[in-house]
Structure 1
Amino acid sequence: MKSVVFILVALFFVVTPVSGQSLSDATGLINRLDVQTSGYAFEIKLTSNFDLTDYTFDKDEKQITLYFDSALENNLAEIIIPQDLLSGNFMFYLNDQEFLPRVESNEKISFITLNFTGSGSNVMRIIGSEYLVGLDPIISNDTLPVDSESIFDDYFVWLVLGSALIVIVPCIVIIVRKMKK
């Protein structure tokens, strides 16, 4: 019996639990970046082994800026950008230094693979040469049209409530007076 207990205790210290293993450099964190511009909504997908802290989109500069922190020396990311949002010839800048990642495109998306070294805080700027290809900017109207049917429904509700109060209040007054007599 003592030998079984000894073996169990020895295995407890010899076998490393799964949670004790370090993360792989290729572990992917998925971020979905929602970009609202000119009345359209686009989704940029980023899968990376670093933490995205913030992002911005500048339609005038045709530029996406990614702010991220990395605890690893070797960084890997895949970005999917809709062609409708940004397309054409891309320029990439990592911490204000020109960067040349692998870019593959089809008629719907641009697939960008980033592979670089360096831990800490970083800034990636992605600049496209074309913006909203095949789409016209939607001019937003801040005022919504008034729906006459909903106005009628609102008035009807108030009319019913008012009528009910006109009937109920006198009935309660009459009942209270009869109870006092």
Structure 2
Amino acid sequence: PEIHRKWSLRASATGELVMDRVKVPKENLLPGVVGLKGPLSCLNSARYGIAWGAIGAAIDCYRTAVQYSLERVQFGKPIASFQLIQAKLAEMLTEITKAQLLALRLGQLMNEGRATPQQISMAKRNNVAMALEVARTARQILGGMGITGDYPIMRHMMNLESVITYEGTHEVHLLITGQDITGISAFV
């Protein structure tokens, strides 16, 4: 069944696929795939794409905040001239750049066949969390205008709130990273 009246990811159809007692004939099985290897490889590709997509949302929010801060005048000068606005913009750009470098390096490792699912998981978690924080900061810079449909900030925030949970929640990705660090699974 399709999900209606959603506030996020509105451009895509979202639904639930329910299968009960499904049998797949042997000739229809994926060749050379045993267990969850096939589905998990798709999951890793999706997570890698999400890591880059989150950067795109963050960049749009950042650019919107920069432009708005240059045009919005308070006390006779653009708000871009205020220290706290400049600090927020500098932090946003720094976090975006770090996320870009993480995704770029991960892409290099993928091209070399050396990327691990744990690294992909880390990039998805980090970049989505970063993008959500950049969107929130951009919304603060825009003040009341940040919640209007005149700017893309809230659309990105709502989408990122969904993205942070699909293909594995923020917490699941922390546990994947933690297991990679310690060698001990914390999954129960």
- Report the structure number with the largest CA radius of gyration: 1
Which has more helix, going by share of residues? 2
Which has more strand, going by share of residues? 1
TM-score category by the smaller chain? under 0.3
Question: What is the TM-score normalised by the length of structure 2?
Answer: 0.22
